[in-house]
Structure 1
Amino acid sequence: MTSSARAGATSRRSTTRPPHTPYGRVFGAATLIAAVVAVIVLAFSWPAITSEPKDLPVAISGTDAAVEQVETAVDERAEGAVALERVDDRDAAVAAIERREAYGAIILGDAPTDAPEVLIATAASPAVAQLLTGLAAQLQDQIDAQVDAQVQAALERASATIQALVAGQAPPAGQTGPGAGSPGAAPEIPQITVEVTDVVPLADSDPRGTGLVAAIFPLVLGGLAGGIALTLLVIGAVRRVVAVAVYSTVAGLALAGILQGWYGVLQGDYWLNAGAIALAIAAIAAPITGFAALMGRPGIALGVVTFILVANPISAAAVPVEFLLEPWGAVGQWFPPGAAATLLRDLSYFPDADTTFPWLVLVAWAVGGVLLSFIGHFRTAGGAEPDALAAHADDVEADAAGPVPTLTR
């Protein structure tokens, strides 16, 4: 072949354009992408739109008569938002709040004139604390109405007594004695004010709790980004496991330093918070590398769908578990985002709470991801994920071969 013929062939190849995409594929691709966007919007908006308080555990203590009266009022006004649980006294109620067994408490006095107290914990949930504060206002209105009724009754009795004395008659039956009062004496009006006490308040550096809520989603993204990047950049199952461990440790130390040392979002022990963040990142990154080891690059997509579209919306990071439709709030605690959100809140504000479950959830996901990576190692030669290995091999061969030589006669 002459040089002019080769040049003509090269020119024809360079000017050849790929065929246009068929309209059926155009409409199909556009519809599929729109459906994906709709699913994403639905996944993120559904929990916020459908969330409402339901059976929030709230402790209550007091005499049986007083408790029954408050229970009746709460059932009528709260519409199932609050589930009252009786405790012995105020100390037991405070202990239940600090163990995160109750979001708040209503403390009723032994005597009718004792001022009730409503205990809240804004660190557990500002939304629930606001709800209980509103409940305290309703309780105050109820007490004021009862006091007004008692005062009105006392005034009527005093008026009847005065009229009887003026007429020279004996006071009406039941209006004599110590409780009747003298004709000129005003009835004693008890002053009863419902107190609201914040047992576990938020830190001054995060007074509304928005920082703690906002930290969860970047943590999830950090786990995803690490898992995807290590899947594409690191070849070999053992090396990926080591890379996930190193990445999670460094990221945990760095993020804890930012969130606690810089922003003041996290409270408590720095090293414990750093360990929780590191384990949460590993619980997301390790399964992604494990999915990829078994399925190839589709495993990355599976990880994104699992943690972003499924686990994150039901994590209850911004609202209590009881706000989500049953059983999704409880289901969300079995995934890393929900377990991480609960664990970090407990470590920061509720040291007496039992954190065994969220620790075990994060460990299970991290260990499960490692096991998937090793299973993929034994299913593929050399322990590398197939298409990542192929891509790496193609790059090496292309670099070694250099430019394609031109044949000449």
Structure 2
Amino acid sequence: MLAFSWPSVTSSVKNLPLAVAGPESAVSQVESALSTASPGTFAFVGADDRAGAVSKIESREVYGAIVLDSAPEVLTSSAASPVVSQLLTGLAPKLQAQLSAAATAAGGSAVTVAVTDVVPLAASDPRGSGLTAAAFPLTLGGMLGGILATILIVGAWRRVVAITVYVVVAGVALEGILGGWFGALQGDFFVNAGAIALTLLAVSATIVGVASLVGRAGIAVGPVLFLLIANPISSATQPLEFLPQPWGAVGQWFPRGAGSTLLRDLSYFPSANLLFPWLVVASWAALGIVLALAGHFREGVRARFTNEVLPEHAVHGAHAATPAHPAHTATPTHPAHAA
């Protein structure tokens, strides 16, 4: 209940990065007005001009921008977040009224504020619902591979090989469905498939690695860690700024959060810095393989102990339990005396 309800119940709009470009005096007035009307909603970022504001949006440094030049404009990005895009679109009428009042007082004419979606969602997924839904198979698919490999396959290395084959096939299949069929993912087919496969491997390898060390009880790491803990703070369905701090940022250190961000950026923000999400999913995958390797060596040590040490002790024990001259003890020297 907490895992799936908490993000919605506690969600609030706060500290959204917003660029403001224009003359210093106009920028100060707008920032002050927005801070008074909506305290804590925005975290303002400076921009030299419209081109600089667009660059910050395309690199995902900000969710949108307000341009205060001769042609005032509100820049949004529905691909970054449809919710934030709607919020910024709603600022345009208020900004237009404020600027028109100031212009009229100075003897000028009314001002019109345009709204431009700098990075829009694809026509095949105009509301972004497909992109949001694409995040959940990353968790479930990874858990499925790790759990099945642990249950059905004996041997840590065999499991690693099995999940490697599994994630490659699943990555291509999911990209074919989500990108080619539903149109939820944009960008290069094989790069997206690689991102999906690596995210699946991050989850499944961790399950296999833990299970290789502690036995089948390690399967529980999937539902507990990736579904109940990492899923609510992944920010796959809403901006990370909406979550109570610092949980939004913490969620990006897990495969679900990093994988979702990676797919969104690969689809719509090629100018964004993708190093961090790539490193996160790769690190989880490497951690799982290292744990599986440790489990493999542990199994080897246990096998050698069973095959070498235990038989030796068994032989010594058998010698100690066997009389030195069984014939002497079994047959009396003089049967008459025995009688």
- With normalisation by structure 2, the TM-score equals 0.87
Matched, 1:84 2:84: no
1:65 corresponds in structure 2 to: 25
Matched, 1:202 2:162: no
1:138 corresponds in structure 2 to: 94
8 Å CA contact retained: 1:287, 1:369:
yes
Matched, 1:116 2:72: yes
Q: CA deviation at 1:87?
A: 1.1
Task: Tell me the distance in 2 between the aligned counterparts of 1:349 and 1:130.
Answer: 18
Task: Tell me the distance in 2 between the aligned counterparts of 1:196 and 1:302.
Answer: 46
Task: Tell me the distance in 1 between the aligned counterparts of 2:71 and 2:280.
Answer: 43
Give the counterpart letter for 2:68 in structure 1.
Answer: L
The partner residue of 1:99 within 51, 54, 59 is 59
Q: CA deviation at 1:147?
A: 4.7
Unaligned stretches of 5+ in structure 2?
Answer: 304-339
Task: Tell me the distance in 1 between the aligned counterparts of 2:302 and 2:119.
Answer: 50
1:191 corresponds in structure 2 to: 110
Q: CA deviation at 1:290?
A: 0.7
The partner residue of 2:131 within 212, 216, 219 is 212
8 Å CA contact retained: 2:77, 2:119:
yes
SS in 1 for 2:7: helix
Task: Tell me the distance in 2 between the aligned counterparts of 1:325 and 1:143.
Answer: 34
Give the counterpart letter for 2:72 in structure 1.
Answer: P
Matched, 1:261 2:180: yes
Task: Tell me the distance in 2 between the aligned counterparts of 1:100 and 1:48.
Answer: 24
Q: CA deviation at 1:328?
A: 0.3
Q: CA deviation at 1:362?
A: 0.5
Matched, 1:230 2:153: no
The partner residue of 1:287 within 186, 198, 206 is 206
Matched, 1:49 2:9: yes
8 Å CA contact retained: 2:100, 2:110:
no
SS in 1 for 2:253: coil
Q: CA-to-partner distance for each residue in 1:129-182, whole Å, 9 max, x for gaps?
A: 11111122211222243355556xxxxxxxxxxxxxxxxxxxxxxxxxxxxxxx
Give the counterpart letter for 1:75 in structure 2.
Answer: S
More displaced stretch, 249-258 vs 212-221: 212-221
The partner residue of 1:251 within 162, 166, 170 is 170
The aligned length equals 303
The Cα RMSD (Å) is 1.5
Task: Tell me the distance in 2 between the aligned counterparts of 1:57 and 1:245.
Answer: 39
1:360 corresponds in structure 2 to: 279
8 Å CA contact retained: 1:59, 1:93:
yes
Give the counterpart letter for 1:133 in structure 2.
Answer: T
Unaligned stretches of 5+ in structure 1?
Answer: 1-40, 152-188, 385-409
Give the counterpart letter for 1:313 in structure 2.
Answer: P
Q: 1:97 to 1:121 in 2, by over 3 A?
A: same
Task: Tell me the distance in 2 between the aligned counterparts of 1:382 and 1:362.
Answer: 31
Q: 1:248 to 1:362 in 2, by over 3 A?
A: same
Q: CA-to-partner distance for each residue in 1:233-278, whole Å, 9 max, x for gaps?
A: 1111111110111000000000001111100000010000000000
Give the counterpart letter for 1:238 in structure 2.
Answer: W
- Structure 1 or 2, whichever has the larger Rg, is 1
Task: Tell me the distance in 2 between the aligned counterparts of 1:70 and 1:64.
Answer: 10
Task: Tell me the distance in 2 between the aligned counterparts of 1:300 and 1:48.
Answer: 28
1:393 corresponds in structure 2 to: none
SS in 2 for 1:380: helix
Matched, 1:371 2:290: yes
8 Å CA contact retained: 1:376, 1:383:
no
